[in-house]
């Protein structure tokens, strides 16, 4: 294994440890996928992929908060700026 993939796997372990309490509290299935090719890092929440390459753990936690806001709160609520807000939150979501 290369040094890069070793570092990515260490980061993956740290990310999973940090996000576990949040995701389990809200019953969200989660994973953090790292690939050496292209050095990609992808947060997966209930099957939704979110690009997180080169992000800090703080930024990854913010993506989880955005996911919960979009999927839980916005699902049942409507307000004037909802389309713009969801567009901003989902900017790194991978279809």
pLDDT digits (tens, 9 = 90+) for 16-49: 999 999 999 999 999 999 988 878 999 999 999 9
pLDDT band for position 1 (cuts 50, 70, 90): low
Residue 40 sits in which domain range? 3-94
Q: How many domains does the chain have?
A: 1
Nearest-angstrom CA–CA distance, 64 and 92: 12
DSSP secondary structure string, 28-51?
A: --EEEEEETGGGEEEEEETTEEEE
């Amino acid at each position: 294994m290369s040094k890069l993939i070793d570092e990515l796997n260490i980061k993956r372990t740290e990310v999973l440890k940090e996000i576990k309490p949040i995701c389990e509290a809200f019953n969200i299935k989660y994973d953090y996928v790292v690939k050496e090719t292209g050095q990609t890092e992808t947060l997966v929440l209930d099957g939704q992929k979110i690009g997180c390459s080169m992000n800090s753990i703080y930024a990854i936690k913010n993506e989880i908060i955005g996911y919960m806001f979009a999927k839980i709160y916005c699902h049942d609520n409507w307000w004037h700026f909802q389309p713009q807000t969801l567009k901003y939150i989902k900017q790194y979501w991978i279809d």
